Amino acid sequence: MKAKIPSLTAACLAACILCVSPALAQGKKSPAPDASASPGASAAATEKAARPTAYRGKILSVDASAKTFTVGKHTIKVTDETKITKNDAAAAMSDIVADEQVRGSYWKKEDGSLEAKSVKLGAKTAGKAKSGAKTDAAEASPSAEPKK
């Protein structure tokens, strides 16, 4: 009987710890937003904390009246805050045309729409390409000797 008491006590203690630990974990959640804050302000804070998503590809279509363009399956809206560039110079919505290479980033809004943060028109320049010029020259040259 004396041998069972310590193991029974340990089992009860372990059960209490397992029951209490989820309650402690729930108590450590972030505090609720201030009730006096407007709902729009909290949504804006959530969007600012999120990261923009990168995109690239060929522009399939442009809707100038809606200020949107389509890349792949994504329809992206251009706003007054969108930074548009073409060949590293400032550009406008009128410079966005179909069948042109584009890259940039967008924010996904709460309603599911995509809002462009940046739009970079044209192919990526060789000076800013991630791969080195030596690698590009070796691949482009048909007379390059194979490595031994």
Instruction: Tell which residue, 71, 73, 63, 74, has the closest CA to residue 99.
Output: 71
Q: What is the DSSP string of 66-117?
A: TTEEEETTEEEE--TT-EEEETTEE--GGG--TT-EEEEEEEEPTTS-EEEE
* Phi, psi (degrees; rounded to nearest 5) at 22: -65, -35
DSSP conformation class of 1: -
Helix (H) or strand (E) holding 58: strand 53-63
CATH of domain 50-125: 2.40.50.320
Whether the pLDDT of residue 120 is over 80: the answer is: yes
C-alpha span between 73 and 13 (Å, rounded): 56
Query: 145 in helix, strand or coil?
Result: coil
pLDDT in tens, 45-92: 555 557 899 999 999 999 999 999 999 999 999 999 999 999 889 999
Q: What is the pLDDT of residues 1-26, one digit of tens each?
A: 566 677 767 776 676 676 665 655 55
User: What's the pLDDT at 73?
Assistant: 94
Instruction: Give the number of residues written for the chain.
Output: 148
